A and B are shown apart, each in its own frame.
Chain A
Amino acid sequence: MEQTNFQLKKQDAQSNEWSARLHHATRATREDWMGRGISYLCIGVIILVVASMLWFITSKGLATFTQNHVNVWQFLTGTNWSPDTGHIGAAPMIVGSFAVTFAAAIVATPFAVGTAIFMTEISPNKGRKLLQPVIELLVGIPSVVYGFIGLAVVVPFMRHLVGGSGFGIISATFVLFVMVLPTITSMTVDSLRAVPRHYKEASLALGATRWQTVSRVILRSATPGILTAIIFGMARAFGEALAVQMVIGNAAVMPKNLISAASTLTSQLTSGIGDTIDGTLPNNALWSLALILLLMSLFFNALVRVIAKRGQLKHER
């Protein structure tokens, strides 16, 4: 009896010792804590910045409706934009923004998809080596340079070609087309390259031609990716301010045709923001335009997610 008790005690003591050894913090665990701490701190700062931006734009943007008692519907559909006299109809800018965005996407997509097919299917080695740096260069050119080229080359060309001042939606479309082209192309290339090789082989082995394989198998299974690429391109076009402002003419009136001066949400913001006084209706109205831009970019993001999810479902095996 005595003996057993002694042994038990000894075991207790031993297990206590082990418990202490296995529970105490070492350098490894402290490093873990520190790493976690740093990454939480970074995330915290980013969340704070994003949240305060959202809150700031939202509260400022809504002030037009809460403090200045502008009717939301009138704001969205009104066509008269003269904040100094109390008229703030944002429809011309909304229409302008959507017009240049869709037009640029429609013009750019065939070129982008064609280039991407060339780079992945027709000349995946030489062609890709040649075009990849070109595309990266196009992405890297600052937008003011695009705008400047637009102003110096595109606007006079359009003036010569179709008459009018040359400023307008068509010039903005052309500049945006060049700007979104690399975005759509490089993302389309990625999605074409992601098409499983066995789809292509299956099609070729059945005697389908290269063209049939590309058009009916590869493009079809890359469709979600291509749509995502187009939406990213549209998001870029929608948010582009400087280059558009330099060529669109900046008249806050409903665009009657493609060659009359117009304006977009962004161009109106950049050209108007310096001339207004904080807290007044003209200033608040600009914030409301910013709010629309913010909501649109959220919408584009949501759309991309929906498409990605659908695409995933389709490929699940």
Chain B
Amino acid sequence: MLKQYSFEKTAVQTFDDSVSLALKTDNLQVFYGANHAMHDANLEFPKNQITALIGASGSGKSTYLRSLNRMNDGIATVTGKIWYHGVDINEPDVNIYEIRRHIGMVFQRPNPFAKSIRENIVYALKANGIKGKDELASRVEKSLKGAALWDEVKDNLEKSALSLSGGQQQRLCIARSIAMEPDVLLLDEPCSALDPISTVKVEETLLELQKKYSIIIVTHNMQQASRVSSQCAFFHLGHVMEYTPTATMFSNPQIPVTQDYIAGSFG
């Protein structure tokens, strides 16, 4: 039996004005029909850092992440505010396509299209009206280099993306996202379908990418959170329980539920 923890007792950090924020949510709630999947999430994500969202399955971390670039539109009801450059992007009249250009997303399962490596990247660029052979070619190269995939595929850009290994496919998905030159990159358990070697490669890529992008990563794997992230939020049954710098979270968790989770009592 899972122990009952009080949802009243939380430890969520906020940042003072000296820290510039990439994204911030106020009282974000998510409902799947009558099911209240996310309660009052108040989180601030500093710029150019990796923030990890951890928690057991069903804790709402993926649900929360998907709300941030409105991928829950049509699937769930999301209320509350999502501040991005001083704009609440949870308003219905906001252009969701423009949001997703600036807040990219990489999914749990590598999901390249059944097209060539090059076309996978060009697809989104063309969809967003970026034209010109040279521009496209340079964006392809830049994004593949950014995702640390260029050296492995540069001679085979016309090969089917599905012929790549899982780890390569996932880095292609990252390349595809950063080709749009977003501000924020959301990653939903990007390594859960990958082997350890591919995982290391993706993690190295992320550490490199945080220089240019603000990254929010959902992960099942506490070691991964401690390896890559600088901030860490712990979710439990649809509530944000604790949000602290990663080092603090793993060495000195503030509240019992986090202590038990870090210690491996459940999850």
Asked if A pairs with B, the answer is yes
Which A residues have a C-beta under 8 Å from some C-beta of B?
Answer: 196, 198-199, 201-209, 212, 216-217, 221, 314-317
Q: How far is the CB of A217 from chain B (nearest CB, A)?
A: 6
Residue B69, interface by CB 8 Å: yes
11 contacts between A and B (CB under 8 A): A198-B109, A201-B107, A202-B113, A202-B173, A203-B123, A205-B69, A206-B104, A207-B99, A207-B180, A221-B114, A316-B162
Q: Can you name the residue of chain B whose Cβ is closest to the Cβ of A210?
A: B97
Q: Is the CB of A208 within 8 A of B107?
A: no
Q: Is the CB of A207 within 8 A of B97?
A: yes
Q: Is the CB of B100 within 8 A of A205?
A: yes
Q: How far is the CB of B127 from chain A (nearest CB, A)?
A: 4
Question: Contact mask B96-115 → A, CB, 8 Å, 1/0?
Answer: 01111100111101011110
Knowing A217-B113, A221-B114, A317-B162, the reply to whether A207 touches B128 (Cβ < 8 A) is yes
Query: Which residues B245-264 have CB closer than 8 A to chain A?
Result: none
Knowing A199-B113, A202-B173, the reply to whether A207 touches B100 (Cβ < 8 A) is yes
8 Å CB contact of B111 from A199, A315, A316? A199
Knowing A202-B112, A207-B180, the reply to whether A216 touches B127 (Cβ < 8 A) is yes
Which B residues have a C-beta under 8 Å from some C-beta of A?
Answer: 69, 71, 97-101, 104-107, 109, 111-114, 123-124, 127-128, 162, 173, 176-177, 180
Q: Is the CB of A207 within 8 A of B113?
A: no
Q: How far is the CB of A127 from chain B (nearest CB, A)?
A: 14
CA distance A205 to B101 in the complex (A): 8
Q: How far is the CB of B84 from chain A (nearest CB, A)?
A: 14
- Enumerate chain A residues within 8 angstroms of B177, measured Cβ to Cβ: 205-206
Knowing A201-B71, A216-B127, the reply to whether A207 touches B112 (Cβ < 8 A) is no
- Enumerate chain A residues within 8 angstroms of B113, measured Cβ to Cβ: 199, 202-203, 217, 221
From B106, B107, B114, residue with most partner A Cβ within 10 Å: B114
CA distance A315 to B98 in the complex (A): 30
From A205, A217, A315, residue with most partner B Cβ within 10 Å: A205
Knowing A201-B107, A212-B127, A216-B127, the reply to whether A206 touches B114 (Cβ < 8 A) is no
- Given A202-B173, A208-B123, A221-B114, 15 other A-B residues pairs in contact with their CB atoms under 8 A: A199-B111, A201-B71, A201-B107, A203-B123, A203-B127, A205-B71, A205-B106, A207-B98, A207-B99, A207-B104, A208-B127, A217-B123, A314-B114, A315-B114, A316-B162
Q: Is the CB of B173 within 8 A of A207?
A: no
- Enumerate chain A residues within 8 angstroms of B162, measured Cβ to Cβ: 316-317
Q: Can you name the residue of chain B whose Cβ is closest to the Cβ of A317?
A: B162
Knowing A201-B71, A216-B127, A317-B162, the reply to whether A208 touches B97 (Cβ < 8 A) is yes
8 Å CB contact of B124 from A196, A201, A207, A315? A207
Q: Is the CB of B180 within 8 A of A202?
A: no
Q: Can you name the residue of chain B whose Cβ is closest to the Cβ of A200?
A: B111
- Enumerate chain B residues within 8 angstroms of A212, measured Cβ to Cβ: 127
Q: How far is the CB of A248 from chain B (nearest CB, A)?
A: 42
- Enumerate chain A residues within 8 angstroms of B105, measured Cβ to Cβ: 205
Q: Is the CB of A204 within 8 A of B71?
A: yes
Q: Can you name the residue of chain A whose Cβ is closest to the Cβ of B177?
A: A206
8 Å CB contact of B107 from A198, A216, A221, A317? A198
Q: Is the CB of A206 within 8 A of B111?
A: no
Q: Can you name the residue of chain A whose Cβ is closest to the Cβ of B70?
A: A204
Q: Is the CB of B101 within 8 A of A207?
A: yes
CA distance A282 to B111 in the complex (A): 61
CA distance A209 to B96 in the complex (A): 9
- Enumerate chain A residues within 8 angstroms of B114, measured Cβ to Cβ: 221, 314-315
Q: How far is the CB of B120 from chain A (nearest CB, A)?
A: 9
CA distance A204 to B124 in the complex (A): 9
Q: Is the CB of A216 within 8 A of B123?
A: yes
Q: Is the CB of B71 within 8 A of A206?
A: no
Q: Can you name the residue of chain A whose Cβ is closest to the Cβ of B125?
A: A206
Q: How far is the CB of A309 from chain B (nearest CB, A)?
A: 15
Q: Can you name the residue of chain A whose Cβ is closest to the Cβ of B98?
A: A207
CA distance A208 to B96 in the complex (A): 10
Q: Is the CB of A202 within 8 A of B71?
A: no
